Structure formats: C-alpha cells, structure tokens
Structure 1
C-alpha cells in the first residue's frame, strides 16, 4: 500500500506544481489563458456552435471533435475521452450547449495548455538545469506561440496531445537521466493515451526506449525492451480493434481517403507551405484569409485560415529560429535526451513535409511537436554555459526573436477578435 501511495504522490508531483516557482508559473498562465478563453467563450460563439462542425477558425474541428472525438482511423480512442469532456461541460452548463458550455470547454483547454507549459518549465529546470531567468524567458516565448494561444481555448485533439507529449518527454527524460528503464505499464499507458488521441504519435513513445542504458549491448536489456514494445503494441491494437468491432479493413480504406484528401493541395509552392505553415504557422501567425464555408446542411458561415507570409521578416524569423534549433542539435549530438527530442520532431517532419499529409494546414498540427523548440533552445543555452560571449550573443538574438513574436502575435490576435466581432 505504501508503494502505491509513493507512486501516486510521484505521479501527482510530476503533473502538477511541486514547488513554489512551479505554482507561480502554472497560475500565471492559467490566469492569462483563462482570461482570454473566458472572454471569447462568454462574448462569442466561435468555440462551439451547433451549426458549425469544422473550420470556423484555422481548420480546427471544434464541434466535430467535442461531439465525436474525430475520425476513428486518426483518433482511435478520442471518442471515449471527449465523451468525458462533453459530459463534464454539460454538467457545468446544466445540460445546455450555451455560453456556460463554451466556458467549461475553454477552461478545460486552458488547464491542459497551462499544464503543458508547466511540463516544459519543469524539463528546463529539472532536466537541463538552466538558470531561472532563462527558464522563464523560454516558457514565455513558448507560451506566446500561435499554437499555445489558440489551443488554450480550443477544444481539440491537439490541445490534449500537446499536454500528453510534453508530459511524456519530461517523464522519459527523468528515466533516461537516472539511467532507468520505462516500465511496461507506463509505456503501454502512454501508448494508449498518446496514440489513442492521434495514432501517428504512438511511434514517439518508443524513441526513449532505444536510448536506455546498454539496451543494445545486453541481450537481457534488449529482450526486455522488445517485450515492453510488443506488450504496448498488443495492448493498443487489441483495444483499437475492439473499438471498431474488428472491422480492420475500414482502417485502410479511411486512411487512404484521408491521405488523398489532405495531401494533394498544389495551390501553394511546397517550400512555402513548409516554411509558412509547418515551421512558421505554429509559432508566428501569418496573414489571415476569410473564406466562405458551409456545413453541408444548408448553413453558410465564414471561416478564418492562415495564408503564407507576405513579408520577408517572418521568413527571416523562422530561418534564424531553425538555425538555432539545428545548431542546438548538432552541438548536443551525443546527448541522448536531445536525440529523443529531435527524432520525435523528425516523425512529424516526415509525415507533413515529406509525405505532405495536411501540409497546407500544418499550422494546426503544432500540438504534436511545437514544444521541441523551447527544449532545444534550452539545450543550446546549456551547451554554452561556460562561454559567456556566445551565451550573451544567443540571449540577445533570442530576445529579438521574442520581441518580434509577441508584437506580431498580439497584432494578429487583434485581427482575430475583429473577425469574431464581425461574424460570431
């Protein structure tokens, strides 16, 4: 019983604030995002409108996700998760899908994103060991990303995926730093939770296993790693097949349909979609376009989407940021924790940039990978902790990027509010 109690306390401290500064960080973002989401939920209908199943803003599928969890082939177990989310929101709103319902949905998103920011802060503080001022600057930078701003009030799969992936990276980093293995049950639970919300992300939970101590030097350790991997896959597949009544052919049919639908957009050059949408749109808002939409049942409405960047400055911003990210990777190439982060990022690069799945709307996929930016920047700062001149240069460049990010995203958010004022 005491062992179970110890594990429960450890799990609780892992997810929630465990120190005074962690509590301050969590409450700061909870209040900031909470004010933003509460205002939008109370004054506008854009978070949830029964008439609008998808694409009211930036291709998010708010109503569709809240009501069904999304398509089973991409989001196998989201149906069950969002049943709980919806019922909790309905409990708060006395069964009505009104302003109180939207308020509850926004606050659940707010809590998830605030906890995501907290996980990044914990990683920077406990795993990398950066000075407090750098930790705070990095999470303020991360907290100002377009992805974190939007997901802080958006009921979507990406909202909870961001939290789960940030939590798993922190947890696996703790295990790797202590040279411990990830237990089979923890790996299976992570696979079901993370892969259940978005199936492609299940590959990411196996990456840290490959970097456990001596896993390829000891047959016993290698066999144990293989067992844990197979155990996780079997658990996931079994539940998945049960979810779809063992009609496995539907998975391939639906997957092919989705790939054809979301991978054949040629209206914008591929290089521009990669920079403006995949690398850029998740961090730095680009220009907005208003489009006419309909719900296929006779109701017409306006949708807001992102365009490619129209100025050279955002491209410079993204270029400099990518230079810093890859600089960090090559500087810390022998660091297994950095390898875990970058390989995880590479999974998304392959899916969206090489396979081109959803590349034209890849700015909505930020919840799958956007947390790698503050982590890799943190490792870059750490690698030059003994070089004051380079560290000062990096800090100066980072502060310029931070200032531009905040000013740009603030301006774009005012345009977003103009859109809501006019149409919602």
Structure 2
C-alpha cells in the first residue's frame, strides 16, 4: 500500500501545482480564464445551447460533444468521459441546462487549461531548467494563444486533449531525464485517455519509447517496449470495439465519410490555410466572419468563422515564430526531448497540412499541438544559455511577439463579444 500511495502522491505532484511559483501561475490563469468564462456563461448562451449542436463559433461542437462525446470514429471513448462531465454539470445545476450548467462546463474547461499551463511551466522549469523570468515569459505567451483563450471556456474534446497531452509529455520527459522506462500501466492509461478522446493522438503516446535508453541495443529492452505497446493497443482496441458493439466494419465507412467531408475544400489556397489557420489561427486570431447556419431540424442561427489573415503583420508574426521553432529544432537536433516534441508536431502537420484533413478549419485543432511552441522556444533559450547576448535578443523578440499577440487577440475578442451581443444574449 505504501508503494501505491507513493505513486499516487508523485502523480498528484506532477499534475497539480507543487510549489509556490506553480501555484501562483495556476491561480493567475484560473482568475483570468475564470473571469472570462464566468461572464460568457452567465450573459450569453453560446457555450451550450440545446438547439445548436455544432458550429456556433469556430466550428466547435459544444452541444454535440457534451451530449455524446462526438463521433465514435474520431473520438472512440470520449462518450464515457463526457458522460461524467455532463452528469456532474447537471448535478451542480439541479438537472437544468441553464446558466449554472453553462457556468460549470466553463469552469471545468477553465481548470483544465490552467492546469495545462502549469504543465508547460513545470516542463520549462524542471526539464529544460530555464531561469524563472524566461519560463514566465513563455507561459504568458502561451496563455494568450487563441487556442488557450477559446478552450478556457469551451467544453470540447480539444480542451481535455490539450491537458492530457501536456501532462503526458511532461511525465514522459521526467522518465526520460531519469533514464527510466514508462510503465505499461501508464502507457495503457495514456493510450486509453489520449487516444480515446481523439484517436489520431494515440500514436503520440508511443513516441517517447523510441528514446528510452538502450532500446535498440538490447533485445530484452526492445521486447519489453514492444510488449508495453502491444498491451496498450490491445486494451484500447478492446474498449473501442466494446464501445461500438464490435461492429468494426462501421469504422472504415465512417472514417472515409469524415475524410471526404473535411478534406475537399478548395475555397482558399493551401499555403494560406496552413499559415492563417494551422500555424497561425491556433495562436494569433485573424479577423472573423459571421455565417448562416442551421441544425438540420429547422432552426437557423449565426455561426462565427475565422478568415485568412489580411494584414502583413500577422503573416510576419507567424513567419518569425516558425523561424524560431525551426531554429530550435535544428540547434537541438540531437536532443531526444526535442525530437519527441517535434515528431508529435509532425504527426499533426501530416494529418492537416499534407493529408489536408480539416485544413480549412485547422485552427480548431490547436489543442493537439500548440503546447509544442513554448517548449521548443524554451529549448532554443536553453541552447544559448551560455551566450547572454543571444539570450537577450531572443527575449526581446519573444517579448515583441507577445505584445503583438496580446494586442491582436484582445482586439479580436472584442469582435467576438460584439458577435455574442448581437446573436447570443
């Protein structure tokens, strides 16, 4: 029992704030996001409206996700997770889907994103071991990403995916730093939770195993790793098939339908969708446009979508940020921690930019990958830790990017509130 208790305490210390500084970071974002989410939940019906299953803002599927967890082919086990979310919110609201119900959903999202930022801070502080001022700058920068702002009050798969990926990424980094293997139980739990909420993220769970010490030099270690992977996949497949009553033929047909639906949009050039939506929109808000929507049952409503960037400053922001990220990757190419992050990011690039799945709305997929930006920036600072001049230059550049991000995203959120005032009071 003492061993189990020790493991639980260790896990809780990794997930929740375990120092005064981490607590301050958590409380700061909890207050900021909580204020935003509380105001939206109490004054507007956009967080959850029983008449609007999807697309009220930026293609999020709030009502559909809360009620069903989403489609089984993309979110195979999310149904069970969101059953708990929904039932808890109904318990708090006394069984009514009213403002209190929306407020509970918003605060669960708020807590999730605030904890995600704590994971980013822990990684910067404990894995990269950056000075406090740089770590704080990077988490502030991340905290005002468009994805972080939107998911802080949005009950969606992406909200909890971002939290779980951040937790697992930090956990795996701790294991790699200690030259320890990731236990089969932890790998299975991560596969079921992360892959269960969004199936394409299942592959990311196994990336850290590639960098376990001596993996490819010992058949015993390689066999052990293979066993852990097979165990995790077997448990995931069993639960997946159980979820759909073992009607596995439905998976391929539904997946093909989804791919055809979300990958054949030609209205905007691919390069612009990549910059404005995938790389940019998940961080820096572009302008918005209102569109006519309906719920396929006769109810018409207004939805909000992101437009491609119209300002050269926005393109410049994205170009500078991507240059820094690429610079970090090249400079730290032999660093196993950086490779884990980069491979994870590459999976999303393949899915959305190369295969073009959902590229026209790829800003909503930021919950799968935006955490890599502050981490790769952190490794760039680490690479020049012994060169104060370059470190100072990097801090100035990051500071300028942060000021521009903050100004732009706050301005665009004012547009968002005008939309709410007009259509969702």
Shared fold (TM-score, shorter chain, > 0.5): yes
Match of 2:140 in 1: 140
Spell out, residue by residue over 1:61-89, the C-alpha distance to the aligned partner (whole angstroms, 9 max, x if none): 00000000000000000000000000000
Match of 1:343 in 2: 343
2:314 pairs with 1:314: yes
Match of 1:400 in 2: 400
Secondary structure of 1:303's counterpart equals strand
2:192 pairs with 1:159: no
- Residue 389 of structure 1 and its aligned partner are, at CA, apart by 1.2
Match of 1:16 in 2: 16
Match of 1:418 in 2: 418
2-structure distance, mates of 1:20, 1:288: 39
Pairs within 5 Å for 1:7-406: 7-406=7-406
2-structure distance, mates of 1:207, 1:297: 44
Secondary structure of 2:301's counterpart equals strand
Deviating beyond 3 angstroms after TM superposition, the runs of 4 or more aligned structure 1 residues are none
Q: What is the total number of aligned residue pairs between the two structures?
A: 424
Spell out, residue by residue over 1:155-214, the C-alpha distance to the aligned partner (whole angstroms, 9 max, x if none): 000000000000000000000000000000000000000000000000001000000001
- Residue 392 of structure 1 and its aligned partner are, at CA, apart by 1.2
2-structure distance, mates of 1:397, 1:27: 27
Q: What TM-score do you get using the length of structure 2 for normalisation? A: 0.99
Secondary structure of 1:305's counterpart equals strand
- Residue 112 of structure 1 and its aligned partner are, at CA, apart by 0.4
Secondary structure of 2:196's counterpart equals helix
Secondary structure of 1:407's counterpart equals helix
Spell out, residue by residue over 1:28-63, the C-alpha distance to the aligned partner (whole angstroms, 9 max, x if none): 111110000000000000000011000000000000
1-structure distance, mates of 2:412, 2:328: 29
Spell out, residue by residue over 1:87-141, the C-alpha distance to the aligned partner (whole angstroms, 9 max, x if none): 0000010000000000000000001000000000000000000000111110000
1-structure distance, mates of 2:239, 2:117: 30
Secondary structure of 2:309's counterpart equals coil
Secondary structure of 1:180's counterpart equals coil
Spell out, residue by residue over 1:311-359, the C-alpha distance to the aligned partner (whole angstroms, 9 max, x if none): 1110000000000001000100000000000000000000000000000
Secondary structure of 1:53's counterpart equals coil
Secondary structure of 2:204's counterpart equals helix
What's the RMSD between the two structures over aligned residues?
0.4
**Unpaired segments ≥5 residues, structure 2:** none
1-structure distance, mates of 2:68, 2:3: 38
Spell out, residue by residue over 1:344-402, the C-alpha distance to the aligned partner (whole angstroms, 9 max, x if none): 00000000000000000000000000000000000000110101111111111111101
Spell out, residue by residue over 1:225-251, the C-alpha distance to the aligned partner (whole angstroms, 9 max, x if none): 111111111010011111111100100
Question: Bigger shift: 252-261 or 382-391?
Answer: 382-391
**Unpaired segments ≥5 residues, structure 1:** none
2-structure distance, mates of 1:220, 1:76: 33
2-structure distance, mates of 1:56, 1:238: 35
2-structure distance, mates of 1:404, 1:28: 21
2-structure distance, mates of 1:166, 1:58: 23
Spell out, residue by residue over 1:294-323, the C-alpha distance to the aligned partner (whole angstroms, 9 max, x if none): 011111100000000001110000000000
